[in-house]
Amino acid sequence: MQKNRNLSPLIVTVLALNLGHATERKLHTVARANLCVTEGTIEESPADRLTVNVPKMRAYVNASTPQAVEAHFTYLGAADREARLGSGELRRQFGLKLRAADACNLIYAMWRIDPESKLVVSVKSKPTEHTSAQCANRGYRNVKPTRSKPVPVLRSGSEHTLRAEMNGAEMKVFVDNGLVWEGSLGADSLDFDGPVGMRSDNARLKIELRVGEPFKPSPAGCRAGGEPE
């Protein structure tokens, strides 16, 4: 008699639900005291919620962590004041940074809000340059994913979770625990290394920032000059 080799419907359902979702990891909530803010301001409210209401915010975690970073955030609309990017474009966006060595060498997972809603992953690489004055907005390379799906349109008052993680040159980005971007960043993405962090342009936000453990705060303090790209 031939054995039934088919998986049970329950097992198939469980596998389907877990496919493409974020790997369960223990995360550490980052307090304002463990952030180096290199441009703009970040205020802290109760329960380690961070508030942003400036044209440009740039920050990195002043600690050694795995290359995994997550933001549970509430989007509250446009910042009270707005500023154009170096390209002259007026863009509203919020995103995460990985391997942020300096202003000219880092990786972004950016949730663009306006004028177009989409998730963009970029490598900024200028190996011989290290300050914003040197590289300005040059050195960006947008990476094409091997698979992706659209992100929700952000509306004022909506809450979401944005997560990015790297394993070597491979990167995955999740929105609300669902995979929205996956691909290889290329060998040049491993030519530099640094902490994780976050960035916003022209957006008002409340954020709980979380990073992978182990979490080891740096006793050296914030880097001189930072990376205000």
Q: Residue 219: its pLDDT value, please?
A: 85
Q: Residue 223: its pLDDT value, please?
A: 77
Residues near 81 by Cβ (< 8 Å), separated by ≥ 6? 54, 55
pTM: 0.87
Among candidate residues 128, 101, 119, 111, the one with its CA nearest the CA of residue 190: 101
Q: Phi, psi at residue 188, to the nearest 5°?
A: -70, -15
Q: Residue 157: its pLDDT value, please?
A: 97
The CATH number of the structural domain formed by 31-215 is 2.60.120.560
The answer to whether 122 and 100 have CB atoms below 8 angstroms apart is: no
The answer to whether 119 and 142 have CB atoms below 8 angstroms apart is: no
Tokens of 127: 């190996």
Q: Residue 4: its pLDDT value, please?
A: 46
**DSSP summary character for residue 187:** G
**DSSP summary character for residue 78:** E
Distances in Å between the Cα of 4 and the Cα atoms of 7, 8, 22 are: 8, 10, 32
d(CA 106, CA 101): 6
d(CA 81, CA 90): 12
Positions in the chain whose pLDDT score sits under 70: 1-25, 224-229
Give domain limits for the chain: 31-215
